[in-house]
Amino acid sequence: MTLLITTYAAVIATVIWYRRKDDSMKLGILCFMYWGAALMWLVDALFEYFELGAEYFTPSAQDMLNDSFLGLAVVALGLIVWVVRLLITDPKGSVRRALKNQEQ
> Considering only residues 16, 52, 65, 81, which one is a binding residue for another protein as defined by CB under 8 A?
81
Of the candidate residues 39, 72, 79, 95, the single one contacting another protein (CB under 8 A): 39
Least distance to another protein, CB of residue 103, Å: 33
Residue type, 24: S
CB contact at 8 A, 91 and 24: yes
Q: Which is nearer to another protein, 6 or 100 (CB)?
A: 6
- Sign of the Cα torsion 54, 55, 58, 64 reads negative
The CA distance from 53 to 57, in Å, is 8
For the CB of residue 44, give the shortest distance to another protein in the complex, in Å.
6
Q: Are 78 and 34 in contact (CB under 8 A)?
A: yes
Q: Which of 39, 29, 30 is nearest to 7 (CA)?
A: 39
Contact string (CB under 8 A) for another protein, positions 17-36, x = contact: -----------xx--xxxxx
Using CB under 8 A as the criterion, which residues of the chain lie in contact with another protein when the complex forms?
Answer: 2, 6, 28-29, 32-44, 47, 70, 73-74, 77-78, 81
